[in-house]
Structure 1
Amino acid sequence: MSTTFRNYIDGVPVDASDGRTLDVVNPATGDVYATSPLSGAADVDAAMAAAARAFPFWRDTTPSVRQRALLKIADGMEAWADELLAAECRDTGKPLHLTRSEELIPAIDQVRFFAGAARMLEGRSAGEYMKGMTSIVRREPVGVCAQVAPWNYPLLMAVWKFAPALAAGNTVVLKPSDTTPASTVLMAGIIGSVLTELGLPRGIFNVVCGDRETGRLMVEHPTPAMASITGSVRAGTQVAESASKDLKRVHLELGGKAPAVVFEDADLTEAIEDLVVGGFFNAGQDCTAATRVLVHESVHDEFVAALAKAAADTRTGLPDDEDVLYGPLNNADQLARVSGFIERLPGHAKVEAGGHQVGDKGYFYAPTVVSGLKQDDEIVQQEVFGPVITVQSFTDEAQAVRYANGVDYAPASSVWTKDHARAMRMSKNLDFGCVWINTHMALVAEMPHGGFKKSGYGKDLSAYGFEDYTRIKHVMTSL
């Protein structure tokens, strides 16, 4: 029996006002299993109006009230963990055991982190900077936030958006990806129950399902003071352009092409073990995935051979298979995109492992390693967003830095060496929002996540991510 998802506006589950729907496909099978609303202008208007009505009340609550609400939301997520996990894995095809440990549990923890952050806003102390005048600095919520979450980590990215926004006193209209609405719609019900229990306006948090046009309507709507999106560079550029028409604040977390720089003194076994996970986890659908490995020429051939073997030993498969590292690509278009990169490889490239679809159902793609590449090759320069690791060789540290920095994307990078001074030099010279040393893809709630260059601006997680959802006001009074 098909499932029907609904929008969640002012605490009420509702269909799109004109009755339009989208099919939701299980990527592990390729079969349609549900429908969700294809929301239009009337639905966006209704959600924005609900958020705007709720904002004055929520803005004027104390941090302790917002903390209590977020802590109860985290408790609700814990109570509904099995249902959230099932919803997430049905929409994404991800392995259940890894999604629980690596996504669901961290998501709950991150809600609790921002619950604490709600009571820890800091500013300069009051003081006299002009004779006869005292100045203070207020931090305030920005207002209604229009937020668009991606399909690669639907639940986790929703948390990264709504938790800091709510903690700071903003109200939210959130749109999940059209391919992955399930966990966000379920989350809306959890949050709505908490708001009702605490006697708070249910319009504080709203969910509107739909496609790119729905997202555009949200960003261009006159009500939000801020637009936040996690997605492709193309989508981020369109959001920035749309938001510029009325000077909305914009928070962008976009594409990636993370380099892993492996020096000759690195522990190659440890590096390969970590980079297989860093490159293939979530089918490589991660802006921080270790998609580009740069290896010193003296150990290049040894490294490539070992990495290819490790890739061949890595499995993709169905959500309930505890021996797989990752599931399918998210949708048919993404499978075609990844396949296209491999089909267009230049003659000097060599596929060392994988390079093909797996099975005849769903959107599975084999763990793939490609060597023999040049810096200007398409697959080196453009985001694949699939289980594909490219390998290049370098001669010295300076060339490694040039190759690593020589792309348009810059969310994250890693350095593999036993030389502490070299690691410090590389962390200074790598032009990326994060530099890991002898590890890759580790994230914690207390540290910021966000890239440079075409990977966008603004930070997720940490106190910095919290502050992004506030504005600063100077108040001066005569003595």
Structure 2
Amino acid sequence: MTFLDITDPRTGEVYDSIPAASAADVDRAVRRADSAFDAWRSITPGERHDALLALADAVVAQSEQLAAAECRNTGKDTAEVLGEEIPAAVDEIRFMAGAARAGHGPMAGQYVRGHTSMVVREPVGVCALIAPWNHPLGSAVDKLAPALAAGNTVVLKPAETTPMSALLLGEICDRVLPRGVVNVVCGDRDTGRALAANPLVSLVSLTGSTRAGAEVTASAGLVGIKRLHLELGGDAPAIVLADADLAEAADGIIEAAFYNAGQDCTAACRVLVAAEVYDGFVVLLAERAARAEVGPLNNRAHLSRVHSYLTELPGHATVVTGGAPAAGPGFHFEPTVVTGVRQHDPIVQQEVFGPVVTVQSFTDENEAIRMANDVPFGLAASVWSGDPAAGNRLAHRIDAGTVWLNTHGVYATEMPHGGFKQSGYGKDLSTYALDAYTRTKHIMSSTGS
């Protein structure tokens, strides 16, 4: 049996180990979910509503244990997880409980003489949910809640470095929900590939890198056609116009850039600033970055990856502050601001996924939009301006699934989250999330006349 070492990113020390699922384990979990599917899909929306509310209550009851597991496994701040991330997860479960009863109802009508048509929405079946290591609990719930609300059963695979909160969530689900509705398997990429390729899995939902999305797509295609729901990488621009409140913009961008040590697909990592205020704004960003407190990166390999972007900077770029691993134990990296970069530098075109911000200047709105859109990703962006009309004008031209105006990184459960281009497709949050986890059927009957 293979075991996964579990490391505390704050210290770099291994504090636990868990068994990794074999191919046979994955198959058993999928078959367990498949066996539970008919009963779970057949209960009424009201019964699923009640079950999900009970699950939300159980998560609240064990919030401290979940936070402890999440924080030791990720290095996150306990107060932040208890005060923000777990309440958001509970809200998502409760929202989807209501959505289970208020989804698209059957539509009926006579569109061909002598025939009555009805459209119904059905669950798709067994859903493979593959969660990332940056938000292990929150991302798992973002997938779990709509999948269950729609009547599916699931097999959840957390990232190999951060399985602890998912395992506890699985135990909670096993107590509250019918057996087999929620299953958890742990392992590495091979485990994910086996899960995606299992012929009994109808849908694969992944949050992860674009590379991981490509791998899952290839694995899912080995056994025919599967539905895919992909929330992938980001490289979010923050456009600062000359009329913006510069201090407010600097505060908001730094917070959005360094939240979770920059390990967030919507992190404000590319700052685009109007040329006439560029120099002063760089000073504001550098001052705030120099005194920012950030947690650790997830693992040693990722720390090395983030550092490589700084050690391999082209000669025209300048590190204004930070730029190296922080002293002490664990996987910490200094909050970093880099200027002088050009549009096609790797640090601009690729997702660094760490506490690193690049700053570029633009001369007019057209150049700002060109720079914002000229990357492979299209997940999120923000515009900072004192002119609401200008902000909205730019928001409509930015090629991203979410655009914030004078803020960045704020979410509402009622609003969709998902990207364009290599940031994937499909939505988390909101009732739009249910689209991925349901299928539409047309039933036509003859009226005999």
Q: TM-score if structure 2 supplies the norm length?
A: 0.98
- Correspondent of 2:334 among 362, 366, 369: 366
Aligned to 2:364: 396
Q: Deviations over 1:70-112 (max 9, x none)?
A: 1111101110011000000000001111122221111111111
User: Which residue identity lines up with residue 180 of structure 1 in the other structure?
Assistant: T
Instruction: Tell which deviates more after alignment, 279-288 or 356-365.
Output: 356-365
- Name the structure 2 match of 1:175: 157
User: Which residue of 1 is the match for residue 39 of structure 2?
Assistant: 57
Q: Which residue of 1 aligns with 2:404?
A: 436
Contact 1:52 1:223 in 2 (8 A): yes
Q: Percent identity?
A: 54
Distance 1:172 1:42 in 2: 17
- 1:285 aligned residue (223, 239, 263): 263
Contact map agreement 1:118 1:168 (CA 8 A) in 2: yes
Instruction: Say yes or no: does 1:96 pair with 2:74.
Output: no
> CA–CA distance in 2 between the matches of 1:466 and 1:160?
11
Name the structure 2 match of 1:324: none
Residues 1:299 and 2:277 are matched in the alignment: yes
Measure the CA separation in 2 of the matches of 1:105 and 1:256. Answer: 25
Query: How far has the Cα of 1:149 moved from its partner?
Result: 0.3
Question: Structure 1 residue 428: deviation in Å?
Answer: 1.1
Tell me the alpha carbon deviations over residues 389-420 of structure 1, each in whole angstroms, 9 at most, x when there is no partner.
11000000000000000000111000011222
Aligned alpha-carbon RMSD (Å): 0.9
Give the TM-score taking structure 1 as reference length: 0.92
Count, aligned residues: 446
Structure 2 residue 443 is matched with structure 1 residue 464: no
Residue 225 of structure 1 aligns to a residue in which SS?
strand
| SS of residue matched to 1:391 | strand
Distance (whole Å) between structure 2 residues aligned to residue 144 and residue 73 of structure 1:
19
Give, in angstroms, the shift of residue 244 of structure 1.
Answer: 2.5
Q: Which residue does 1:309 correspond to in 2?
A: 287
DSSP 3-state at the match of 1:440: coil
- Work out whether residues 107 and 120 of structure 2, in 8 Å CA contact, stay in contact via their aligned partners in 1: no
1:358-409 Cα offsets, whole Å, 9 max, x none, are 1231001111100111101110000000000110000000000000000001
C-alpha distance in 2 between matches for 1:412 and 1:286:
11
Task: Report whether the alignment pairs 1:267 with 2:245.
Answer: yes
Deviations 1:281-308 (A, max 9, x none): 0000011000000000000000000100
Could you say which residue in structure 2 is the equivalent of 1:3?
A: none
Deviation at 1:313, TM superposition (A): 1.1
2 CA distance for matches of 1:447 and 1:215?
29
Aligned match for 1:129, one of 111, 131, 152 = 111
Larger displacement relative to structure 2 (218-227 or 359-368): 359-368
* Aligned counterpart in structure 2 of residue 188 of structure 1, from 167, 170, 175: 170
| Pairwise CA distance, 1:125 | 2.8
Q: Structure 2 regions of 5+ residues with no counterpart?
A: none
Q: Residue 196 of structure 2: which of 219, 223, 227 is its match?
A: 219
TM-superposed CA distance for 1:124, in Å, is 6.4
Shift in Å, 1:467: 2.1
Question: Equivalences for 1:52-91 in 2 at 5 Å?
Answer: 52-91=34-73
Match runs of 1:349-360 below 5 Å: 349-360=317-328
Tell me, in whole angstroms, the C-alpha distance in 1 between the residues paired with 2:239 and 2:384. 6
Task: Quote the Cα distance in structure 2 between the aligned partners of 1:77 and 1:88.
Answer: 13
- Long gaps (5+) in structure 1: 1-18, 317-326
Choose which of 160, 166, 183 in structure 1 pairs with 2:148.
Answer: 166
| SS state at 2:180 partner | helix
Q: What's 2:312 paired with?
A: 344
Q: What corresponds to 1:14 in structure 2?
A: none
CA distance in 1, matches of 2:4, 2:405: 43
**Does the aligned pair in 1 maintain the 2:197–2:221 contact within 8 Å?**
no
Asked if 2 retains the 8 angstrom alpha-carbon contact of 1:36 and 1:210, the reply is: no
